[in-house]
Amino acid sequence: MPVVTKAHFRTGGYRRQRGAALVVALLLLLVITLLAVAGMNAAAVEFVMAGNEQHRQTAFQAAETGIEQTIVTGGFIPEAADEVHNNVPVPSSTTDTYDTRLQSDLGGAAQPAVWGNSWNAFSSYDFTITSTGKFLANSVRGAQSQHAQGIAVLAPASAQTSALAGGPTAFN
């Protein structure tokens, strides 16, 4: 039986493969590094997006506060000039402000009561409140949110609202 030595298993091709493991390992390291950098960039962008969403929500709340405060303190005088308030600080906040405009719709004209109701008993006056909430208004990443709210104010019938011909002429 012949003796098998290491020389029998050697092939001439192994000399061409020297360093191939190093090249493959470096390529894998490069791919892993690129994936890690892409993941960090995605995380950074998501962090900025989350911050922007918080700023937007804060500006939204500031605009809503402006509408609520205008409803509470507004004049609601039909033929008066627009009531404007600028850079009003939001209570309990150092960064939030709002601007509001209370305007009378229809030139201050009253709308008569709805059919079937006491026609001469009351009228409604329509107003629009426009509020712009601001968060960090002077910064690069400041956010704004604008809202509009319609308001109908009921009042006793006025001379501007006339009864229909043949309709009731006194309060029912």
pLDDT, tens digit (0-9, with 9 covering 90-100), for 32-82: 999 999 999 999 999 999 988 888 999 999 999 999 999 998 888 888 888
pLDDT of residue 160: 45
Number of separate domains in the chain? 1
Question: Bridge partners of 129?
Answer: 102, 149
Q: Is residue 166 part of a domain?
A: no
CB 85 within 8 A of CB 122: no
Handedness of CA 146, 57, 74, 156 (dihedral sign): positive
Q: Which structural domain, as residue segments, surrounds residue 52?
A: 13-156
CA 62 to each of CA 73, 84, 93, 97, 148: distance values in angstroms, whole numbers, following the listed order: 16, 16, 10, 6, 13
Specify which residues 104 forms β-bridges with.
127
Domain assignment present for residue 41? The answer is yes
State the residue for tokens 């009228």: 123
| Residue 97: inside a domain | yes
Which pLDDT score is estimated for 137? 67
Enumerate residue ranges in the chain where pLDDT < 70: 1-18, 113-120, 137-138, 157-172
| pTM of the full structure | 0.66
Please check whether residue 101 is in contact with residue 67, taking contact to mean a CB–CB distance below 8 angstroms.
no
Q: Is residue 3 part of a domain?
A: no
pLDDT of the residue at 91? 87
